[in-house]
Chains A and B, each alone.
Chain A
């Protein structure tokens, strides 16, 4: 809190300085903007002072206020769908404005690659999300704001833990082993990180989806491009804005596990099943119960504060902001906290020269005790461990302190997951600075030159300390510290010339430029064991035992060089043509293949502009047909993959009982290694009905990614097993539909924004003779049980096909039964289907059981407003997706003495209960993918419900506040699903390298999603 106070003071100080600088004689005018026909107020109308960049926007009640420099001022009023007007102010101080509907649509402007365009001019598929939508619901990380917001954009949380990774896939997954993340462009800086920017700093996000829009980014555009524009100051609107929210989160959806009596009844029957003539718990009903889930989960606070100052005059505009967000996790020592500061400045130095800069700094600190640690520390995922803890075992000693070790019902003592979380430190500090300065020069009428120089500096530091009194599976009772750091410096220099010219009945926009980009990465990892004092933690690693010290360093660098251009031609406002091209060179590829060209072409026909549509204008007031085709690429791989190189192996061969380092050939290089190429066809319609009360966007897309990176097997006689090379084809196709409807207007209004996407992927060619199996190396229990392959990459199947064993109930009569995994089946065992009829269940009997990419997904936003009161419901849904519920497999294992789901009791196979839910007691389900644990992960979630009140201006004037909004938001209030685990969405685990063949969906003791309730306030003055 101290830091927050300090930052508020600092922000005020900055603001005072700026205000004193820009003070000059001004006076205020104000008024209301109404629709001339209906008399309703029109919000969002742009009112600017002619000849300057001063201006304002009318508020939700159509009211505006503007500072003007003198009497001889003319104001310009413009708004989409209305005729623009100019009014001489004179001495008036109250000017009410009536707007007349225009025949010519004046449309909003959207950001595109290297420029802006009128929405009506677009030929590509671009989804635009404006700041009011972004800020309607508070999000901790900006990527979360994209969820459900646009069709074709699939956003899912890898983990519900604070700061957990979010996966964003635009129109499917293109690359098998390469990067599938979209390209982020922040204020023109190509290659930023979306999560270093707080949502309150953003004015708009544009998602470029088709080739016409993305191919200006050539080799990096294949996964889609997300353009993020941060706020800029507006002339004459010096203001301070503050927003904050505070709330609590709580896990509400616990798994229904056995209590003490039920558990001990199970243990008794397991003894019987194992043929041991002992009843260990003769009186189960008197057993005590400990609910480990309750011990694991607590309620946790979250909070956010943003303060910004913005404004300017006709020459200089500024936007300065500070932000702090903190979200604690619902388990011990789990948190995410982030500070942000930003300074944006634009200045017109000469009539022909404009300069400016954007500078943002982000400082995040997050714990990583959970998912990420599963396979690293061997502690086992604490949630998974806690779920399996016998409910008759207490985590506390007699004095109420956490025990560091626990004696389970069976097997050796293990670490206490609560104790591990409490005392094992593991957190990551992520610090990012992104800065970008530019110069714009007006050379001639319509001809403009722009040069920009940007940089992105990131450091990442992971600190780990495990004291000796914490027991885990890998380091046992040794103390252990690790400091793992990396830093990356990237710079980008871009220069381009653009030319805009209106002819008689057509318009030409053209640009051409070049771009140079380079990056350098360095890492350093230090490890040590056996510390003399626990108090030093990782801060003084030299206090560890010297022989255990270990250091690794590494570095890599890459560079890119590009030439790009675009021609856009608008013929009579009816026929639009766009051609893009980018020539890209990248250091990452083989010397035979450094350069590639990525072209695209698009055509759009504004049908509603045609004379023959004149008659239907009352119904269809806007209709545009779009078609585009083009190629974009993905470099998607790490540097130096085309080389055959030697790397030092610290853990080399043994001489005289000492492990000495050696040099190993690491990869087999391919000098022809080149780009993955995605060719995309997009056909779409944009339509507006009933005076744009209903807007519809429909798109069909068909993408084929060729030259896929595949680690192809090579003959071992080369000394290598595989070589990264370009083979294979993959297809993604689908439909997108977005609808926006103003159902009710007026005092009581109702607005609906909805979207739906249908998509499928198919592997067309792998270039290999065999399938590629992928799976989870991760430990399921911090012990020894591992899942093998659970997915297959196979020609003809979707990417991310679940691959495992089909079952057909249970064996009742085992005569003639095939051996199952080398064992004779017993009655009550799962009955596996012998697909190849060879009398033996082996890995040849696996089939494709499901798919991990959803067929349908989308979002629905419904907003009701009445006199400043706003009720917004945001729904998100996913249909037809399968999730491997490994958690359920874990807590229904019938042959160990760990806790089980409560539903297991009475639901296990016996000769009298052959149709039970679960096999016989004493049976172990193989640790492979078995269809009974594959569940439908479809869901409909009321992600956010917000009730807000915007205080009318008449009350605010007295206290000099221009805008005040208070709200309450509930998140995850309601979920409709058949999924039996915590949450069908919280399950995606993308861990080891083998998992890179697509996104792997597996619920393996995942961090549950909490329900949260937030109270928030925004105001500005």
Chain B
């Protein structure tokens, strides 16, 4: 009979015991805490890759073209659809405009993930993580953070300054512009340094020729030098510039050209030929792959004309972003980039020759697409075909294997010419870079120009050589001529462009963070 009193006691006791041993503590097994990823080299790399991964939101899809391409004077958006793109193209955008979001959001995401790595990586070697490894990862993470800030400050002028991942400041205000640039320079600087390991002086980042095959796509020493030069060059154009910025820029361009063994491919199109990825002319790229789920290149699709009727490929091109009439007119006859990239009929050649061969013929009967320009019906549209990927076997999606190149060697050559001309005038050194670029595309070398003439020639050359690659908008800002150039290329832009110097911070962000505002909006 006593059992009837004992049993309840035992049952209650048992259940109560369960309660004692942290019964409600969660132990997630499917996910891990940040800290646990920093014990082994492999997982540290995989964590760092998350920062690269975020770049797809800026350079993948068509976000970059929507933000910086059609707001510039090299490409435009002319279709009567997609009001968000029309707003950007016509300079009627406002802080609520959709295309502003991705570059902002993903820059911060990438940056925060770089901060995550910097916040957690061990300071000194452990049994599983070597010192050279730590130094390299740190340099890489700092490069990525610097690169994202470089984008943000060029786009929004000033933004919050965040260098931590844990104990994040909430609602941070805009930081001082000079402080931001100091961080960018020092972050890029970290990638060009060398350390002594066991008495050997070794650079923290590998060069493009020495990087391991399975690491192709990660930051190299050349990328850090090029970015550092470009950052000095950009800061030189600002009010907060230091007097030595242009010299520093030239120093680092010389470093890239003289010690990193980059070069130009024989033909312009070779620079966009997928098997040539991460080589010779490709200094820093956002990596893309047609067969990947998230990172196929859409440049081919967006920038190629709608020529499906001719080639039979269903989705060959969307014809979203034709080049401007002004760019087309600025090109000289005989320029490969005009004759072949803008006017060429690639497809005919591709199928006429061997399947592995690419090349082009000019066929004036097919030089333009069938689309007339909606605003000026007498003007046909010209499209750039540099991203057309003949190695792609995927007829259905027209997704391409090519990288989106963020720093191409010809960009650095032209920056070198520009810096040299700025500091020393039209000396022979100043012609080296621009003439290499011109000659590659079948144009005669320049000579005998005065400093101003050469400056104009370099600006023009950059426009043509780097068209649709998202460099133009930053160049125009750097030169302070965005307003006049955009107005010249897009006479239909009627708004007062003074307001549209830098981009406003997206309204969504201003709503979420009470310490941010857009003073002029």
A499 interface residue, CB < 8 Å from B? no
Those of B137-168 within 8 Å (CB) of chain A: 159-160, 162, 165, 168
Residue B498, interface by CB 8 Å:
no
Contact between B216 and A655, CB atoms less than 8 A apart: yes
Could you tell me if A717 and B172 are in contact, using CB atoms closer than 8 angstroms?
yes
Of B23, B52, B160, B508, which is within 8 A of A717 by CB? B160
CB distance from A691 to the nearest CB of B (A): 45
Q: Are A822 and B15 in contact (CB under 8 A)?
A: no
* Number of residues of chain B lying within 8 A (CB) of chain A: 78
**Inter-chain contact B30/A652, CB cutoff 8 Å:** no
Of chain A, the residue at the smallest CB distance from B107 is A716
Which residues of A (651-671) have their CB < 8 Å from a CB of B?
651-666
Contacting pair A656 B215 (CB below 8 A): yes
B375 at the interface (CB under 8 A from A): no
Q: A645 vs B28: C-alpha distance in the bound complex, in angstroms?
A: 9
Per-residue CB contact flags for chain A residues 893-914 toward chain B (1 = under 8 Å, else 0) read 0000000000000000000000
Instruction: Say whether A100 faces chain B, with CB atoms less than 8 Å apart.
Output: no
- In the complex, A769→B108 CA distance in Å? 22
Q: How far is the CB of B190 from chain A (nearest CB, A)?
A: 21
Residue of A350, A449, A646, A713 most packed against chain B (CB within 10 A): A646
Residue of A whose beta carbon sits closest to that of B24: A587
- Check A443–B23 contact: CB distance below 8 A: no
The digit string for B493-517, where 1 denotes a CB below 8 A from any CB of A, is 0000000000000001101110010
A439 contacts B289, C-beta separation under 8 Å: no
Asked if B214 CB lies within 8 Å of chain A CBs, one says yes
Q: Which of A149-157, A554-562, A990-998 contacts B (4 or more CB under 8 A)?
A: A554-562
Closest A residue to B168 by beta carbon equals A718
Residues of chain B within 8 A of A578, CB atoms compared = none
Q: Does A969 contact B (CB under 8 A)?
A: no
The answer for the CA separation of A639 and B516 in the assembled complex, in Å, is: 34
- Cβ proximity bits A835-866 to B, threshold 8 Å, 1 near / 0 not: 00000101000000000000000000000000
Q: Complex: how many Å from CA A648 to CA B15?
A: 36
Minimum C-beta distance from A480 to chain B (A)? 15
Given contacts A645-B33, A664-B53, A719-B108, contact A443 B15 (CB under 8 A): no
A594/B24 in contact, CB under 8 A: yes
Task: List residues 594-648 of chain A with CB under 8 A from any CB of chain B.
Answer: 594, 639-640, 642-648
Q: Does B421 contact A (CB under 8 A)?
A: no
Say yes or no: A639 contacts B26, CB within 8 Å.
yes
Question: In the complex the two chains form, is A716's CB within 8 Å of B104's CB?
Answer: yes
Asked if A955 is at the interface of the complex by the 8 Å CB criterion, the answer is no
A715 and B277 CA atoms in complex are apart in Å by 36
**A659 CA to B49 CA in the complex, in Å?**
11
Q: B15, A660: Cβ atoms under 8 Å?
A: no
Which residue of chain A has the shortest Cβ distance to B101 in the bound complex? A716
Most chain B beta-carbon contacts within 10 A, residue among A555, A561, A662: A662
Chain A residues whose CB sits within 8 angstroms of the CB of B34 once the complex forms = 644, 646, 665
Known contacts A451-B8, A842-B83; A719 and B109 CB within 8 A of each other: yes
- Rounded to whole angstroms, the CA-CA distance of A769 and B37 in the bound complex is 37
Q: Say yes or no: is B7 at the interface (Cβ < 8 Å to chain A).
A: yes
Is the CB–CB distance between A645 and B31 below 8 Å?
Answer: yes
Give Cα distance in the complex from A877 to B102, angstroms. 47
Asked if B105 and A715 make an inter-chain contact with CB atoms under 8 angstroms apart, the answer reads: no
Is A497 part of the binding interface, using a Cβ–Cβ cutoff of 8 Å? yes
From B220-228, B291-299, B344-352, B457-465, the one touching the partner chain is: B291-299
B288 contacts A by Cβ under 8 Å: yes
Q: Which residues of B contact A932 (CB under 8 A)?
A: none
**B30 touches which of A350, A555, A719 (Cβ 8 Å):** A555
User: Which residues of A sit under 8 angstroms from B401, Cβ to Cβ?
Assistant: 657
Once the chains bind, are A656 and B30 in contact (CB under 8 Å)? no
A443 and B86 contacting across the interface, CB-CB below 8 Å = no
Whether the Cβ atoms of A651 and B32 lie closer than 8 Å is no
Q: Beta-carbon contacts of B261-291 to A below 8 Å, as 1s and 0s? A: 0000000000000000110000000011100
Give the distance to chain B from A727, nearest Cβ to Cβ, in Å. 13
Within 8 A of A (CB), among B16-74: 16, 18-19, 23-34, 37, 43, 46-47, 49-50, 52-53
Shortest CB–CB separation between residue A85 and chain B, in angstroms?
Answer: 34
Closest A residue to B274 by beta carbon equals A657
B112 on interface, CB distance cutoff 8 Å? yes
Query: What number of residue pairs across chains A and B have CB atoms under 8 A from each other?
Result: 213
Measured between beta carbons, the chain A residues less than 8 angstroms from B32 are 645-647, 663
Residues of chain A within 8 A (CB-CB) of B213 are: 656
Centre residue among A495, A557, A653, A661 by max chain B CB count within 10 A:
A653
A588 at the interface (CB under 8 A from B): yes
Q: Which residues of B contact A443 (CB under 8 A)?
A: 4-5, 8
Give the most central of B108, B116, B165: most A CB within 10 Å: B108
Q: CA of A694 to CA of B287 in the docked complex: distance in angstroms?
A: 76
**Whole-angstrom CA separation of A636 from B442 in the bound complex:** 67
User: Does residue B484 face the partner (Cβ distance < 8 Å to A)?
Assistant: no
Cα separation A555 to B29 with both chains bound (whole Å) = 7
**Which A residues are CB-close (under 8 A) to B80?**
822-824
Q: What are the interface flags for A396-422 relative to B under an 8 Å C-beta threshold, 1 for contact and 0 otherwise?
A: 000000000000000010000000000
Task: Please tell me which one of the listed residues B7, B19, B172 contacts residue A439 in the complex, with CB atoms under 8 A apart.
Answer: B7
B7–A559 contact, CB under 8 A? no
A39 at the interface (CB under 8 A from B): no
CA distance A667 to B281 in the complex (A): 38
Contact check, A652 vs B83: say whether CB atoms are below 8 A apart: no
A632 and B255 alpha carbons, distance in the complex (Å): 69
Q: What residues of B have a CB within 8 angstroms of the CB of A557 in the complex?
A: 26-27, 29
- Name which residue of chain A comes closest to B35, CB basis: A646
A764 touches B (CB below 8 Å): no
Bits for A698-733, please: 1 = Cβ < 8 Å to B, else 0.
Answer: 000000000000000111111111000000000000
Cβ contacts under 8 Å, B11 to chain A:
439, 449, 451, 495
Q: What is the 8 Å Cβ interface bit string for chain A, positions 504-535, against chain B (1 contact, 0 not)?
A: 00000000001110100000000000000000
The residue in A451, A497, A655, A717 that gathers the most chain B C-beta atoms within 10 A of its C-beta is A717
Among residues of B, the one whose C-beta sits closest to the C-beta of A442 is B4
Q: A716-B509, A717-B108, A719-B108 are in contact. Are A640 and B26 (CB under 8 A)?
A: yes
| Chain B residues whose C-beta falls within 8 Å of the C-beta of A642 in the assembled complex | 26
CB pair B396–A476 under 8 Å, yes or no, is yes
A715 touches B171 (CB 8 A): yes
> Residue-by-residue, is A545-579 near B (CB-CB < 8 Å gives 1, otherwise 0)?
00000000011111111000000000000000000
Q: Tell whether, in the assembled complex, residue A654 and residue B83 are in contact, meaning their CB atoms are under 8 Å apart.
A: no
Q: Which of B43, B113, B293, B512 contacts A714 (CB 8 A)?
A: B512
Docked complex Cα distance between A662 and B295 (Å) = 14
CA distance A362 to B54 in the complex (A): 45
- A664-B50, A715-B513 known; A516-B15 Cβ under 8 A: yes
Specify which of A497, A561, A664, A842 lies most central, judged by the most chain B CB atoms within 10 Å of its CB.
Answer: A664
Question: Are B19 and A561 in contact (CB-based, < 8 A)?
Answer: yes
For A518, the chain B residues whose CB sits under 8 A away are 23
> Once bound together, how far apart are the Cα atoms of A353 and B5, in whole Å?
11
Instruction: Write out the residue numbers on chain A whose beta carbons fall within 8 Å of the beta carbon of B25.
Output: 587
Q: Across the two chains, which residue of chain A brings its CB closest to B5?
A: A443
Closest beta carbon of chain B to A643's beta carbon, Å? 6
Is B217 close to A, CB under 8 A?
A: yes
A331 part of interface (Cβ distance < 8 Å): no
Which residue of A has the minimal Cβ distance to B315?
A: A784
Closest 5 CB pairs of A and B: A719-B112, A662-B49, A645-B31, A654-B287, A715-B513
Can you report 28 A-B residue pairs in the complex whose CB atoms are below 8 A from each other? A412-B314, A441-B4, A442-B4, A443-B8, A451-B8, A476-B396, A493-B15, A495-B15, A515-B15, A556-B28, A557-B29, A645-B31, A646-B34, A654-B295, A655-B49, A655-B216, A657-B401, A661-B46, A662-B47, A662-B50, A663-B37, A713-B511, A717-B160, A717-B172, A717-B509, A719-B109, A719-B112, A822-B86
Given contacts A556-B29, A655-B49, 5 further A-B contacts (CB under 8 A): A518-B23, A561-B19, A656-B214, A663-B50, A716-B512
Interface residues in chain A, defined as those with a beta carbon under 8 Å from any beta carbon in chain B:
350, 352-353, 412, 439, 441-443, 449, 451, 476, 493, 495, 497, 514-516, 518, 554-561, 585-588, 594, 639-640, 642-649, 651-666, 713-721, 769-770, 821-824, 840, 842
